[in-house]
Structure 1
Amino acid sequence: MPFNRFSCLLLLILIVRSTPSFSQSAAPAFQRIDSLLKAKSSKPFNGVIIIAKEGKTLYENQNGSPVPGQKKLFKETDQFVIGSISKQITAVLVLRELDKKRLNLRDPIRKYLPELEMPWADTVTIHQLLTHTHGITALNEPLAYPAGTKFNYSTIGYQLLAKIVAKTSGKSFPELSDELFITCGMENTFDSNLKKHKRLVNGYIEKENGKLHLQTSPLKDFTPAATFISTARDLVLWNTALHLGKLLSPETYQLMITPYATRQHAFLGKTDYGYGPTITTTDRLLQIGQTGYIPGFVSMDYYFPKTKTSIIMLENTAWSLDDLSKTFSYHLQALKFLKEALLK
């Protein structure tokens, strides 16, 4: 059913009455986010947002329409391409194979992909694929730098990880990911190659004329790194299952959220990377997750272990692509408001 502002206000009242221990700090943040989304702008937020604690929704809202400019509201089952949030899903599939003792993270990838022709397959490890420290730029090219010596954010490492888990599990990557989503109760999340998605909204990008244009992007070739399809509510289920111990052993989960590499991000500043998600600590507040971009879709999924709180924003319009800090401006401001509340 569609979201609406009356239900959002009613939900906010119920939150204040039912969760006094959290509402004093959180309710003002929800009001600030509400004002942010409602503010008149030539480049408005067009998508959905959910803030949840221990899997239970505290704040849920939407702005705009699946087709920008129309009056039709988003529905809770509308699906978005989630960009780099996809990487943590692929990482979990790898780590579940580790828990089953089917692979070793320090093994050279030649052990699992003997068909690779380049000599670097004998030195690059699964760990380096997970942490973007592998140096691979193309399957038929030499390494850009010795494996393990530098960080370079890329998609190719996660494409190779998908091939590895298909080999170790004996199942196709789409089949394996589908089983994982069923385990999490995520009924609206899919690998596009399965062709099971029925409510995927179109993505739009701003062109030189300042207007939004429909964007068509290839989905099937980039799923492990960038093109899983999901909903905001399903990503709450994902965070709950992952971070509350339903998907990985405690030891393996700790491996996932350990920082291994650091990058100076274009608009997030100094950012540490684990296996899949980014790991950031501000004023002793640990934040796990990431932003994601694929042409036409702007996404964010962060989880705060201390309070078991998630914030998820999915948008199907991309403005100001010459400055990604502006493209993600609504996401970054909403994240700032929530973090200020959590730090009180």
Structure 2
Amino acid sequence: MKYVIFLLLFFTTTIVTFGQQNSIEKKIDSLILTTTTKPFNGVILISQKGQTNYFKIFGFSNIAKKVPLQPNDQFVIGSISKQFTAVLVLREFDKGNVDLFTPIRNYLPELTQKWADTVTIHHLLTHTHGITELDKPTSYKVGTQYSYSQIGYDLLAKIIESTSGKSFATLSKDLFEECGMKNTFHPDVTGYTNLVIGYTEDEKGSIEFETETFQNYVAAGSFLSTAEDLTIWNKKFYSGKLLKRRTLKMVKTKQNGAVRNHPIFGVTDYGYGITVDTKENILQLGQTGFAPGFVSMNFYFPKTKTSVIVLENVAYDTDDLKKTFYYHKEILKIIRNEILTYH
């Protein structure tokens, strides 16, 4: 059944501090409220220096029953999850429990492939390892190429389970509690009640309930969160509250060879768990995320302390991710233009 999604507006702008008053609100509203057969269904939150500039919610958590989205509704955030995993790994590094350049067999002796004697945590964090399956050789010589990987981050989760003696679910739960992120969860941890339904557009243009939302490894792409919690995360993460200064610097450094032809943004540099973009002399840190039925984005601009968070639970045009991320790209463009103009 094909649903016509009526956009419902539940929140109004709190503060606009970029440039001309209400310029961001007008531009984003114009984008979102334009009549289309593929309307935005989700949450948009823009904040600057701890103040909310734009926070609006459009559409439904359950389209069939027309249940309106709410502020604390949780979305699967896809690859935004990788920065959580990277922080957990690097906290073990800060404690001296792991070395970034020691072969991972030191932590996972049960691995059977020879690449365990060559691949390091650094390789896993930067997607330069070439592992495609645990029981197969790497697809290229370790450290010589880049290939965006989910399994690498699952191995990172296993490594810190080994070094800490705690489950990855428990480690992440403790981290989120430390940050005050009350609505962010590893999906195996009980306690979340506000996960929205994800939808995917099929080949006929119908919006269908997504049944494979959690097909990704959790450490790589299946954490649940909210827009407000991701704002809290950005403040804690980028202000240096979670990692030592030298470690955070590594996170934000373009790592040698960690360059991807990104399906949305083209040539893209990676640090540890995030992209590092310096185009137009603007430092932009963060990540997009895609999980079946969910399309997400979380970017941070250190100079203006600006967070740009967009969470959507309808995935359109999944055969062309540039179209899938249409609203996310356009909102990011609006914010970047504001920063270029007024800062």
> TM-score when scaled to structure 2?
0.94
**In the aligned structure 2, how far is the partner of 1:116 from the partner of 1:55?**
45
- Structure 1 partner of 2:214: 219
**In the superposition, relative to structure 1, how do residues 236 and 47 fare at CA in structure 2: closer, same or farther (>3 Å)?**
same
- Structure 2 partner of 1:19: none
- What is the aligned length? 333
Within the candidate set 156, 168, 180, 2:151 is matched to 156
**In the aligned structure 2, how far is the partner of 1:221 from the partner of 1:210?**
24
1:71-112 residue CA offsets vs partner (Å, 9 max, x unmatched): 432111100000000001000000111111111100100000
Shift, 1:30, TM fit = 2.3
Within the candidate set 317, 335, 340, 2:314 is matched to 317
Instruction: Please report the RMSD computed on the Cα atoms of aligned residues, expressed in angstroms.
Output: 1.6
**In the aligned structure 1, how far is the partner of 2:107 from the partner of 2:153?**
14
For the pair 1:307 / 2:304, whether they are aligned, the reply is: yes
- Structure 2 partner of 1:82: 77
Within the candidate set 68, 72, 84, 1:73 is matched to 68
- Structure 1 partner of 2:264: 267
The aligned amino acid for 1:322 is D
The aligned amino acid for 1:161 is L
Structure 2 counterparts to residues 197-208 of structure 1, below 5 A = 197-208=192-203
Q: Contact (CA 8 Å) 1:65, 1:74: kept in 2 or not?
A: yes
Q: Contact (CA 8 Å) 1:132, 1:152: kept in 2 or not?
A: yes
The aligned amino acid for 2:12 is C
Aligned-pair identity in percent equals: 51
**In the aligned structure 2, how far is the partner of 1:25 from the partner of 1:143?**
53
Shift, 1:258, TM fit = 0.8
Consecutive unaligned residues in structure 1, runs of 5 or more: 17-21
> TM-score when scaled to structure 1?
0.93
Q: Contact (CA 8 Å) 2:213, 2:292: kept in 1 or not?
A: no
Structure 2 counterparts to residues 1-344 of structure 1, below 5 A = 5=9, 7-9=11-13, 11=14, 15=15, 22-25=17-20, 27-68=22-63, 71-217=66-212, 219=214, 222-260=217-255, 261-344=258-341
**In the aligned structure 2, how far is the partner of 1:230 from the partner of 1:41?**
28
**In the superposition, relative to structure 1, how do residues 338 and 66 fare at CA in structure 2: closer, same or farther (>3 Å)?**
same
**In the superposition, relative to structure 1, how do residues 329 and 168 fare at CA in structure 2: closer, same or farther (>3 Å)?**
same
Q: Contact (CA 8 Å) 1:99, 1:252: kept in 2 or not?
A: yes
**In the aligned structure 2, how far is the partner of 1:69 from the partner of 1:295?**
18
The aligned amino acid for 1:106 is F
Q: Contact (CA 8 Å) 2:222, 2:291: kept in 1 or not?
A: yes
**In the aligned structure 1, how far is the partner of 2:111 from the partner of 2:219?**
19
| Partner SS, residue 188 of structure 2 | helix
Q: Contact (CA 8 Å) 2:216, 2:291: kept in 1 or not?
A: no
The aligned amino acid for 1:308 is K
**In the superposition, relative to structure 1, how do residues 101 and 220 fare at CA in structure 2: closer, same or farther (>3 Å)?**
farther
The aligned amino acid for 2:27 is R
**In the aligned structure 2, how far is the partner of 1:257 from the partner of 1:217?**
32
**In the superposition, relative to structure 1, how do residues 155 and 67 fare at CA in structure 2: closer, same or farther (>3 Å)?**
same
Shift, 1:56, TM fit = 2.5
The aligned amino acid for 1:317 is V
| Partner SS, residue 200 of structure 2 | strand
User: Which one has the bigger helix percentage?
Assistant: 1
Consecutive unaligned residues in structure 2, runs of 5 or more: 1-6
1:227-271 residue CA offsets vs partner (Å, 9 max, x unmatched): 000001000001010001110111000011111111111121110
| Partner SS, residue 205 of structure 1 | strand
1:29-77 residue CA offsets vs partner (Å, 9 max, x unmatched): 2210011111111001100010011333111011111123654321111
Deviates more, 1:320-329 or 1:60-69: 60-69
| Partner SS, residue 194 of structure 1 | coil
Shift, 1:343, TM fit = 1.0
**In the superposition, relative to structure 1, how do residues 307 and 202 fare at CA in structure 2: closer, same or farther (>3 Å)?**
same
